[in-house]
Structure 1
Amino acid sequence: MGLDKYVNTFGVACKKQFGEKLKKLTIDAKFTCPNRDGTLGKGGCTYCNVASFSYEHGTELSIADQLKQGRERVAGRTSKYIAYFQAYTSTYDEYLVLKAKYDEAIRDSDIVGLCVGTRPDCVSDEVIELLVSYQKQGIEVWLELGLQSANDKTLKKINRGHSFDDYLDTVSRARAKGLKVCTHLIMGLPGESHQDYLNSLQSILNAGVDGLKLHPLHIVEGSTMAKAWKSDRIKLLTLEEYAYSVGELIRFTPKDIIFHRVTAYAKKPMLLAPDWCAHKWDGLVAIVNDLKAKGGQGSYLN
């Protein structure tokens, strides 16, 4: 594919550190979200249906069995893995419950990393200390924060239930303790332009960050946004528009920051639109072609 030639990818970073590319094994640990259970709101973010991106969503398997299933899915591609708590808000529970789930995930010796996906407003000092304790044991720990946009107007429009200041607070506390932070951004959110994506990137870089995940907005069945799309009230990015914006963000990003992902896809029939998000390689090929033509990571900063 060639992405590694132009981008400091997670795979490249892992190979330098562990001697091989690691695979993330996704886990659904039956967490919920304060934006769904009534604490902050009901219905969740307007774009969200977690079943569109989680293999394990809805499973009754234990964490250990999910990891076993994940190993079988990627058999032969690596000997070391990262346990990835992906579904919903994976820091949103009692301390002892969180510790028990994280402990189970890293129990086996071939699990060398722990990624915890969550919201910026659901990371207490106690949770940070817990994650730091695993880091002190030699586990590679990443705190993944779903920000999506640094624009508070956009956050309100998509019903995130938190502000950019919440994000800044969590990043400051986490990185002060030595935790690595990976931030998620969605491009194509209603009302946002290419300049908004650049503004969000710059705000994140100014705050300090260790990794980035970039996603295109895609419409999935069961989300609030699906209703608006079906009523023709949402314009989605074309593949060409997305590849251009991703390329520009990558070129404005310092070379030491790790890109965990530069695109995302979903499966039909869960995916409603855009159609190109159903094909994983289409997005990657378009992005690599853009980088090849215009320059790779950090090239605008040289």
Structure 2
Amino acid sequence: MQLTDFVHTIGSDLRSRYQQRVRKLTIDAQFTCPNRDGTIGRGGCTFCNVNSFAGDIPDELSIEEQLCQRKAEMKHQNILYLAYFQAYTSTYGEYQKLYQLYQQALDAPQVVGICVGTRPDCVSDKVLQLLSDYQSQGKEVWLELGLQSANDRTLKRINRGHDYSAYQRVVEKAHRYQIKVCTHLILGLPGEDSDDYNQTLQRVLDDGVSGLKLHPLMVVQGSVMAKAWQSGRLSILSLDEYVKNAAMLIAKTPWDVVFHRVCATARAPTLLAPHWCERQWPPLTAICQYLSENGKQGSGGVSKV
């Protein structure tokens, strides 16, 4: 039993179009964030510690060197790659700098496209035009937007620094440029339950999206939420709760939407909780089992949690 039996994954989607395996290679281009440098706020989102997802990449490594390092970590070498600008806000910078960084990645051997992770309020028309130009050249292009929730109360509570309308505006622009959008959603944010997750999914689907990425809320060192969790003021989802809620959203998502991720992991000692996020396979196996019993993506068959 594999995830691709029940979910339209980015891996299976790329393989069907490129006729071979395509993997993402994570890049840290040393971007910052307007919610940290004082432009719109300081301290960042309450859940954020970039090291939990970017890993330890020496500052002195160039884009090409990072890609080479990531390729060397892969078990299968004869494959194609997408350069994934993941850490912080990867459209937040001077246009010429962004152009140089993206071009360095696209010029690397075996790289067939880029994924650009960013905030909904940091995507200019010039950047969208640049991404559109790459796409017209035959490159695979994904704009990955960290939304997390469509609930404005939640966005304010987690110090996100923007509301849902900011997301809607950039998605509308991306559609005009025919750029594929992958939206990131977090399950388990403070004050939210399955009704909130359903409402967020429905709003995102109604506004149009090509891809989704689901994450459980993870408490990591260096975040504001870490203090709340350590003092007993923050509850987190159990593995069973996450699996049921994630499966519910997957089943309600049309098959043509591509899932880039249905769970997430982080490494100790950065990860404080939940401990089940330290390993990839237990949640994936449980999600597969749940979907096999209740209906795969697009079936709408998973009952409300």
Q: Deviations over 1:230-279 (max 9, x none)?
A: 01001100000000001110110001000000000101111000110111
Distance 1:78 1:167 in 2: 37
Match of 2:89 in 1: 89
Paired position in structure 2 for 1:232: 232
How far apart, CA to CA, are the structure 2 residues paired with 1:188 and 1:153? Answer: 14
Q: Would the aligned equivalents of 1:91 and 1:123 in 2 still touch at CA under 8 Å?
A: yes
Residue 171 (str. 1) matches residue 171 (str. 2): yes
- Compute the displacement of 1:150 (Å): 0.3
Partners of 1:51 and 1:57 within 8 A in 2:
no
- 1:166-185 deviations in whole A, cap 9, x for unaligned? 00000000011110000000
1:67 partnered with 2:74? no
Q: Paired residue for 1:156?
A: 156
What aligned pairs does 1:103-142 form with structure 2 within 5 A after superposition? 103-142=103-142
Match of 1:46 in 2: 46
Note the C-alpha offset of 1:75: 4.0
Given residue 70 of structure 1, which amino acid in structure 2 is its aligned partner? R
Could you tell me which amino acid in structure 2 is paired with residue 69 of structure 1?
A: Q
1:126-163 deviation digits (Å, cap 9, x = unpaired): 11001111111111000000000000000000000011
| CA distance in 2 between partners of 1:227 and 1:56 (Å) | 23
Instruction: Check if 1:243 corresponds to 2:243.
Output: yes
Are 1:23 and 2:17 counterparts? no
Q: Distance in 2 between matches of 1:194 and 1:58?
A: 40
Which residue matches 1:145? Answer: 145
CA contact (8 A) 1:212 1:260 kept: yes
Query: Could you state the TM-score of these two structures normalised by the residue count of structure 2?
Result: 0.97
1:150-229 equivalences in 2 (<5 Å): 150-229=150-229
- Give, in whole Å, the separation in 1 of the partners of 2:257 and 2:23: 19
Amino acid of the structure 1 residue aligned with 2:40? L
Q: Distance in 2 between matches of 1:260 and 1:30?
A: 23
Determine the structure 2 residue equivalent to 1:287.
287
Which residue identity lines up with residue 142 of structure 1 in the other structure?
W
- Contact map agreement 2:21 2:79 (CA 8 A) in 1: no
The range that moved more, 152-161 or 71-80, is 71-80
What are the Cα deviations for residues 21-40 of structure 1, in whole angstroms up to 9, with x where unaligned? Answer: 21100000010000000001
Which letter does structure 1 place at the counterpart of 2:79?
Answer: S
SS of residue paired to 1:205: helix
Aligned length, in residue pairs: 301
Alignment partner, residue 271 of structure 1? 271
The alignment's TM-score, normalised by the length of structure 1, stands at 0.98
SS in structure 2 of the partner of residue 189 of structure 1: coil
Partners of 1:165 and 1:289 lie apart in 2 by: 36
SS in 1 for 2:101: helix
For each residue in 1:200-244, what CA deviation from the matched residue of structure 2 results, as whole angstroms up to 9, or x when unmatched?
Answer: 000000000000000000100011100000010011000000000
Distance 1:256 1:273 in 2: 33
Distance in 2 (CA, whole Å) between partners of 1:40 and 1:223 is 18
Q: Does structure 2 conserve the Cα–Cα contact (< 8 Å) formed by 1:180 and 1:210? A: yes
Q: Tell me, what secondary structure is at the counterpart of 1:300? A: coil
Distance (whole Å) between structure 2 residues aligned to residue 287 and residue 276 of structure 1 = 14
What percentage of aligned pairs have identical amino acids? 54
Deviations 1:271-295 (A, max 9, x none): 0001101111111011111111101
Stretches of structure 2 lacking an aligned partner (at least 5 in a row): none
The whole-number CA distance in structure 1 between the counterparts of 2:291 and 2:72 is: 34
Deviation at residue 109 of structure 1 after TM alignment: 3.9
Distance 1:187 1:86 in 2: 20
Structure 2 distance, partners of 1:97, 1:56, is 23
Q: Name the SS for the 1:53 alignment partner.
A: helix
